[in-house]
Amino acid sequence: MNTFVAPLRELKEFNDIKDNIIKKSLPVQVTGCIDSQKSHLAYGLGNDFRYKVIITYNDIKAKEIYEDYRLYDREVYIYPAKDIIFYSADIRGNAIVRERLKVLRRIIENKRATIILTLDSGMDRLLPLDMVKNRVITINMETTIDLQEISGTLSHLGYERQGQVENPGDFAIRGGIIDIFPLTEEAPYRIELWGDEIDSIRTFDVSSQRSIEQVSELIVYPASEIIPDEKRIQDGLRKIEEEEKQYVKKLRGEFKTEESARIQKIVAEFKENLLEIGGSTPMESYINYFYDTTVSFFDYFNNEDTLFFLDEPGRIVEKGEAVELEFRESMINRIEKGYILPSQMDVLYGYKEVLSLLSRKNSIMLSTMEGKNVPITPKHKYDFTVQSIASYNNNFEVLVKDLQRWKKNKYRVILLSGSKTRAMRLSEDLREFDLNAFYSDDMNRELQNSEIMVANGNLRRGFEYPIIKLVIISESDIFTAEKKKKRKRSNYEGKKIQSFTELVPGDYVIHENHGVGIYRGIEKIEVDKIAKDYIKIEYGGGGVLYVLATGLDLIQRYSGSEGRKPKLNKLNSVEWKNTKSRVKGAVKEIAGEL
């Protein structure tokens, strides 16, 4: 990616920050940064580090940074935050753990990665990395397997035994065949045994059950982030029982019999689930009973191979304050009502404690303007001169005039297009205007003055460094998607629902993320004294999804062939994901033909 990085070395501020990094004279504050340019600067500054950790202030911004950063580096991951308050009831829990464990795998295996997250992702308490490493199991052709033992081990790691593997986190045993869908993999694995020896290890397709590829080794990461051994379970349950007795006694002394009965029931259910299904039980809010030592996610990184970036530090502080306040208020309400034990209130690190930890790391703060609410005192301050690119709104003539002006002033210009074909066509069109434009997929080529390189890549917004005469323009800056006329829908197409009064219990509906289910009506659910209307959707395998009544934009009525009932999808199933992928593939083929 020298095409993007080489011009930055002409900036004095960039070189000074690189010197600060080498001399470990950090933290550093950088102002004047804008939107997509932050990813460009972060890539240039952190290119020598194994890990780059970019911390931002909300999930939407994290996804935007993720999309921009993929232009420079494909090994980029989002580390999602858990909602500790509601996590045990979150049907997306498996998906969240899966994304988090993919990141942990990169760290454990010492593989390069850029990790993007919000501050609250570093506020929950985690196990030290060595404890996670010790739970990873490796199976190769030399491994001997006892079926009963492997079944117990996988269950303890949080995997669920099924009749047939369908989703990440499942395993199945049939005769001498073991199917495992590791949470960190994209496809399940099949181990065929000859006695207790392994005959073959293959990946296979969930839908067709056909083998994809033979491999020599399978590494299975836990399907849960908290996996206590038997001794820790017994010690932890003993601590819970002791605290429960004291707390129940206190509640009864205050004549809160309903609350005391509630906490006894909740604790009894947790203990029963833990002893029966082990690793599949959500334990985040009970972590302090089972482990004396916990760490923040940011503790997983050392200063030798990690560089941290804080995107708009003032807004990060606001995010931390909001998360901490919401958590504290919710916990106070829950403990008053007998929903939690006192020690469960201490499952988050305070945001100030986390920011204090980051102040001791290699940290660079990126912001548009210098704010007053800077959480970390910088040792050095720098200001960059960067300008945004005005949208051309499909006006090709204005673009050409700007390119001619930049050519005259000896600017270097990089034009990005989402497809190779469009990029090549764009370079040809520009040459007709006597512009030195060319297509290239060599991202290490250093641009010369007055050159216009058209390349395949995506960026949300373009930007300009006027001092070093570098301009990067995205396709979205040039072309605005035209609104297409809506064609008349046939009777058999799905229809967006404007109001839940349009639905009748028993209607088939399609949820954008979970597939086909049956609408079962509206239920009022109270959470923290706030009652809201939820749409109840029933799925295959007994799954139930509750969607806020305000989330109708994700649901549409199912319409298929008359008289034919659709097959219900299962929650968290890869089946619906595969269906959407096939449809997207078909659409791309049609688009290519057009």
- Mean pLDDT, contiguous 10-residue spans, the chain (594 residues): 94 97 95 95 95 96 96 95 59 75 96 96 94 94 93 91 91 94 94 93 92 94 90 94 95 93 93 78 88 95 95 94 91 90 92 95 94 86 94 91 95 94 93 92 93 94 96 90 49 49 77 84 70 80 77 73 73 72 62 54
Residue 425 in any domain: the answer is yes
The CATH number of whichever domain residue 146 belongs to comes to: 3.30.2060.10
Burial class (CB in 10 A: 0-12, 13-18, 19+), 189: buried
Q: State the pLDDT at residue 584.
A: 64
Q: Give how many domains the chain has, as a whole number.
A: 4
What does the longest C-alpha to C-alpha distance in the chain come to? Answer: 88
Query: By residue range, what is the domain housing residue 212?
Result: 138-220
469/506 same-domain check: no
125/26 same-domain check: yes
Residue 521 in any domain: the answer is yes
Residue 275 in any domain: the answer is no
8/120 same-domain check: yes
Q: Which residues contact 417 (CB under 8 A, 6 or more apart)?
A: 423, 426, 454, 455, 456, 457, 475
Q: Tokens for 229?
A: 């051994």
365/394 same-domain check: no
Q: Identify residue 233 by its one-letter amino acid code.
A: I
466/447 same-domain check: yes
Domain boundary among 220, 242, 273: 220
List, as one string, the DSSP characters of 350-416: -HHHHHHHHHTS-EEEE-SS--S--SS--SEEEE---EEPPP-TT-HHHHHHHHHHHHHTT-EEEEE
Residue 419 in any domain: the answer is yes
Distance CA 19, CA 536 (A): 58
28/111 same-domain check: yes
Q: State the pLDDT at residue 314.
A: 93
**Tokens 């899966």 sit at which residue?**
98
* CB distance 391 to 477 below 8 Å: yes
Q: Which residues contact 428 (CB under 8 A, 6 or more apart)?
A: none
List, as one string, the DSSP characters of 543-588: -EEEEEGGGGGGEEE---STT-PPPPPBTT-HHHHHHHHHHHHHHH
Distance CA 413, CA 421 (A): 19
Q: State the pLDDT at residue 512.
A: 78
* CB distance 166 to 575 below 8 Å: yes
Residue 184 in any domain: the answer is yes
Q: State the pLDDT at residue 1.
A: 86
pTM of the model: 0.80
- Say whether 458 sits in a helix, a strand or coil: coil
Q: State the pLDDT at residue 594.
A: 53
Distance CA 336, CA 342 (A): 10
Alpha-helix runs per DSSP H in 54-202: 59-69, 93-108, 129-133, 147-156
The CATH number of whichever domain residue 517 belongs to comes to: 2.40.10.170
109/20 same-domain check: yes
10/122 same-domain check: yes
* CB distance 396 to 339 below 8 Å: no
501: phi then psi, degrees, rounded to nearest 5:
-70, -15
Q: State the pLDDT at residue 180.
A: 96
Q: State the pLDDT at residue 145.
A: 93
Q: State the pLDDT at residue 520.
A: 84
116/41 same-domain check: yes
Residue 267 in any domain: the answer is no
Q: At what angle do helices 37-46 and 12-22 cross, to 10 degrees?
A: 40
Domain boundary among 448, 478, 508: 478
Q: State the pLDDT at residue 539.
A: 86
The CATH number of whichever domain residue 28 belongs to comes to: 3.40.50.300
> In which element (H, E) is residue 219 found?
strand 217-220
38/125 same-domain check: yes
* CB distance 471 to 406 below 8 Å: yes
16/81 same-domain check: yes
Domain boundary among 383, 418, 446: 383
Residue 89 in any domain: the answer is yes
373/394 same-domain check: no
